[in-house]
Amino acid sequence: MLRYLARRLLWAVPVLLTATTCAFLVLHLIPGDPVNLMLSGRPASEKVRANLRAKLGLDRPLAGQYLYFVTHAAVGDFGQSFATGQPVGQVIAQQLPASLQLAGGGFLIGVVAGLLLGIAAGFYPNTTIDGMAMLIALVGISMPGYWTAMLLIYFFGLKLGWVPIVGAGLPVLILPSIVVGSFAIGNLARLVRSSIIEVRGEDYVRTARAKGLPERLVVLRHALRNALFPVVAMMGLLLGLFVGGGVITETVFARQGVGALLVTSILTKDYPVVQALILFTTAAYVFANVLVDVLYGVLDPRVRYR
């Protein structure tokens, strides 16, 4: 098990190194002088410019700059935001709780609804239940997230007034969570369905039935348990959907959060924040995937020895 864990963690190293290099290069690949961006058009003397350049580390050779960036990034130091002058770490930390709440709400709704739909469709394939569940899944996959959000705001927030769309507290979280969850529902439901159909044809399910086990136990103890392995494997991918979902949902609902911060930073060319967010999000995604793989290895010992 330790060997397996080590192998998975080792896989994360090149990804994170690439992410670091990409983040570093962002500031160097953009057309124009970063100092001009930092000054955002204000006139400045050559001395001020030279000072800024030194402060950004841009007066060093490229290799030195890279080393500086990596060593500082490793301890979470990304410099200051061009826009506010605050340390970048602080800017992100302020936005993080809102994003985590949203991701949590979305995960709960997406996974519960996706599982239920997939299980229902998988155990009654080619019936009306299956048809309805797969229709919902198709709609979930095909609806643009921002459009789902706007329709929900319009009907449940503005027309019916059932849920608040601004303010604080749990009720405000309902609609955004549904939107983030909807990114996962369709994919998950389809996966669970096909996985259950496959497992139901397996010999061990037939054996369980043949030995006279009640259908309820066959389903719970034998079919469902094995059918859910691919779902666990997909959890890491779901996190990617939640990252994307967060970017869009936070923008539509005008919520605080890391996703909205990323979009604003790209639009306002606040590159230190962009760099930090690229690294931060990728690192979170990579480690979540490692965690999922390890969990998968714990659940299914066959995986570890592959």
Partner 1 sequence: MASDPIAVPAGPAQLGSRRGILAALGRARRYPVASLAALALFLVAAAAALAPAASPYDPSAMATGPALSPPGGPHLFGTDRYGRDVLSRVLYGARISMPVGLLAVSFSAVTGSLLGLATGFFGGSVDTVGSGVIDIMLGFPPIMLALLVIAVLGVGLQNVVIAVGVGGIPRFARIVRGTALSIRENVYIEAGYALGASRARLILRHVLPNVMPPIIVLATLYIGSAILDTSSLGFLGLGVQPPTPEWGTMLSEGREFMRYAPWLMFFPGMMVFVTVVAINLVGDHLRAALDPRLQGR
**What is the binding site for partner 1 (CB under 8 A)?**
11-12, 14-15, 18-19, 22, 25-26, 29-31, 125, 138-139, 141-147, 150-151, 153-154, 158, 194, 197, 239-240, 243-244, 247-248, 251-252, 262-263, 266-267, 271, 274, 278, 281-282, 285-286, 289
The answer to whether 234 and 191 are in contact (CB under 8 A) is yes
Residues 6+ apart with CB under 8 A from 148: 178, 179, 182
Minimum CB separation from partner 1 for residue 47, in Å?
Answer: 30
Sequence letter at residue 213:
L
Minimum CB separation from partner 1 for residue 211, in Å?
Answer: 27
Nearest CB to partner 1, comparing residues 45 and 128: 128
Distance of CA 177 to the CA centre of its chain: 13
Nearest CB to partner 1, comparing residues 14 and 61: 14
Minimum CB separation from partner 1 for residue 101, in Å?
Answer: 19
Minimum CB separation from partner 1 for residue 127, in Å?
Answer: 13
Of the candidates 241, 236, 261, which has an alpha carbon nearest to the alpha carbon of residue 78? 261
Nearest CB to partner 1, comparing residues 155 and 204: 155
Nearest CB to partner 1, comparing residues 105 and 259: 259
Minimum CB separation from partner 1 for residue 165, in Å?
Answer: 10
Q: With helix as H, strand as E and coil as C, how does 136-198 read?
A: HHHHHHHCCHHHHHHHHHHHHHHHCCCCCCCCCCHHHHHHHHHHHHHHHHHHHHHHHHHHHHH
Nearest CB to partner 1, comparing residues 147 and 204: 147
Supply φ then ψ for residue 243, to 5 degrees: -60, -50
Minimum CB separation from partner 1 for residue 21, in Å?
Answer: 11
How far apart are the C-alpha atoms of 296 and 293, rounded to whole Å? Answer: 5
Nearest CB to partner 1, comparing residues 43 and 189: 189
Six token digits for residue 97: 């709780």
